[in-house]
Amino acid sequence: MFNNKSLLITGGTGSFGKYFLKHILTHYPKIKKIVILSRDELKQFELENSIDKEKINKLRFFIGDIRDRDRLKSAFNGIDYVVHAAALKQVPKAEYNPDEYIKTNIIGSQNVIDAAIENKVKTVIALSTDKAAAPINLYGATKLCADKLFSSANNVIGSNNIKFSVVRYGNVLGSRGSILPFFLKQKNKSFFTITDKEMSRFNITLKEASLMVEWAFKNCVGGEIFVPKIPSFRIIDLAKSIDSKKPLKIIGVRPGEKIHEEMITSSDSFNTVNLDKNYYVILNSSNDKLNKHYLVKKKLNKVKKGFSYNSGTNSKFLSIKEIKRLIKKIK
């Protein structure tokens, strides 16, 4: 799919962006060009030096911010596919800096949409988060708004043959800002700090997330939100998998934090399709094309009314043994 085509990754020096870049370079050796768009020149320098010399000629590094509409329009020139991974994502920081999160996660997302339409990009896949479902914090609210922008962008493309879709997944174990690096730093301390003993999270690996985004490019109609069927883990089990004997210090839930996360709410159930063993799809109710594709052409069924996909009631939880195996792979 990507051979002889051009790909741009916003937030390309983040955890997902770096992994997806190397995934594409490995599996699509004939890709024409990959543009890495990010704000940090040092991270771009470090990423550039981590790529094999025979592949480096495929890369272009753009220093820029998705808040800058003109810079985006320039970067998107000649691009076929876009992965939108750039975002501000720290939940507590969002509560104290709401205007900055709105500028990046909402206005920046609209700038991505406008630049893609103007440059006649073929497909844009935007990365979302479980915190966008029934958000109680500002970060989740900005990501929900971004989801709506990308889903509804398909209604304003005019004669352009462009598709906007969203991939929504949970915690990426080991990624920058996730709980695992935090616990590993506490490994040599006298205790682990835990916000709540009941807390759970969805889990997906960078490899699984990359494969899902690649799959979404190949299968999206435009306007849908793809949700993976993935396991949950208990935060307390993650701590035990690192050191089962270390005591726990309960510090209380942080500002904007949930005990359990959701990826599909009961309100979403009215527009959610059970796609296959790997994915659910949330349809945009204003997009008839989606209904025709999934409900008529594919003859798929919607989930039961009131269904919700919650990390605390998930049918699959990772055991401590399974978490240990995942940590070894990440290390």
> Which of 188, 144, 190 is closest to 168 using CA atoms?
144
Residues, the chain, total? Answer: 331
CA distances from 104 to 121, 143, 224 (A): 21, 10, 22
DSSP one-letter code for 250: E
> Which of 63, 60, 64 is closest to 78 using CA atoms?
60
Query: Is 163 labeled as catalytic in the residue annotation?
Result: no
> Which of 319, 316, 182, 176 is closest to 240 using CA atoms?
319
| Cα dihedral 252, 256, 262, 265 sign | positive
User: To which residue do tokens 């935007």 refer?
Assistant: 126
User: To which residue do tokens 């979302």 refer?
Assistant: 128
Angle between helix axes 138-153 and 108-118 (nearest 10 degrees) is 20
C-alpha span between 256 and 93 (Å, rounded): 10
Catalytic choice (131, 143, 163, 258)? 131
Alpha helices in 28-107 (DSSP H): 41-48, 69-75, 91-96, 98-101
C-alpha span between 22 and 25 (Å, rounded): 5
> Which residues are known catalytic residues?
131
